[in-house]
Amino acid sequence: MVEFQNISIKQGVFSLNNISVKLDDDTYYCLLGKTGSGKTTLVEVLCGLRKFNSGSLFINGIDASEFKPGERDIGYVPQDLILFNQMTISDNIGFALKIRKVDKIVRDQRIKEVSEMLGISHLLQRLPRNLSGGEKQRVAIGRAIIFQPAILLLDEPFNALDYVTKQELFKMLKSIKSKMKVTVLHVTHNIDEVKNLAEKVLTIENAKIEMQERNEFFETRNFLFNEEVI
């Protein structure tokens, strides 16, 4: 479980005030908000890439506010994917295991399992620059889940992908979530992604965050969302 306790972030004119929210295990959350509302900031706070001014962050009941990014049990897929250009796809996917000094035989076996699950086992010896957008997306997800994190963070992962690829990735993410029992926090602008994936919806508005069940969100805010957020 992840708990933001009264977290405030202030940077220049931008601020998020007293953010308090609990994310349950094994639940798919979509995080919505206008451009510049602080979605990415919140994600970066969670994975330890950004400091906050006050409050506490708990992960699995432990105060993780001062934990280094790699100690937080979080798999992160950034908006711009940031694949490691000089490494093969196999090395990209296996990076977290290499850092954890996992034996090469075990590592290769795990890379094989993950790449088969994501349908990219034929790409393992290629370099990222030779991949399509959808393939890169799968690699970035594979790299983030290989060490079986408790939380998977996806920051606007499907930008600039075509409809068919998106549908395939929706299926893939549902499958990952059910197999790994992972908590997913998925930042998006896209209502289609919320419809297809979300179990609960978080909305950032006016520097505050609100959580709703998926159905409640569509009953109360779908209209507002279409009008104001997209």
Partner 1 sequence: MSLAKHKVGSDLPFILIMAVIASTYILLILAMIASDLSFTNSSQIFLALKSPEIQYSIKLSLFTCTVSMVLSIIFSIPIAYFLTRYKFKGSKFIDAIIDIPIILPPLIIGLSLLILFQTGVGKFIEQYVSITYAIPSIIIAQFVVACAFSVRTMMVTFNQIPKRMESVAMTLGANKREAFWYILIPEAKNGIFTAASLAWARALGEFGPILLFSGATRMKTEVLPTTVFLEMSIGNIEAAVAVSLIMIGASFVVLMLVRYMGESVF
Kindly state the tokens that stand for 111: 């890379």
Please provide the DSSP assignment of 42-106 as one string: HHHHHTTSS--SEEEEEETTEE-TT--GGGS-EEEE-TT----TTS-HHHHHHHHHHHTT--HHH
- Considering the complex, what minimum distance in angstroms separates the CB of residue 164 from partner 1? 27
Stretch that binds partner 1, among 4-12, 53-61, 72-80, 131-139 (CB under 8 A): 72-80
- Report the residue number, 7 or 47, with the smaller CB distance to partner 1: 47
- Report the residue number, 69 or 119, with the smaller CB distance to partner 1: 69
Contact between residue 127 and residue 88 where contact means Cβ atoms under 8 Å apart: yes
* 144 in contact with partner 1 (CB under 8 A): yes
Classify residue 24 as exposed, middle or buried by CB count within 10 Å of its CB (0-12, 13-18, 19+): exposed
Give the x/- contact pattern for partner 1 in 25-54, rule: CB under 8 A.
----------------------xxx-----
Q: Which amino acid, 223? A: F
Stretch that binds partner 1, among 57-65, 91-99, 116-124, 220-228 (CB under 8 A): 91-99
Q: Which one of residues 29, 52, 147, 225 is an interface residue with partner 1 (CB under 8 A)?
A: 147
C-alpha torsion 221→24→193→209, nearest 10 = 40
Q: Which one of residues 78, 134, 142, 157 is an interface residue with partner 1 (CB under 8 A)?
A: 78
Provide the total of helices (H) and of strands (E) in the chain, helices listed first: 8, 10
Q: Which positions lie near partner 1, rule CB under 8 A? A: 47-49, 68-70, 72, 74-76, 78, 80, 82, 84-87, 95-96, 98-100, 143-144, 147
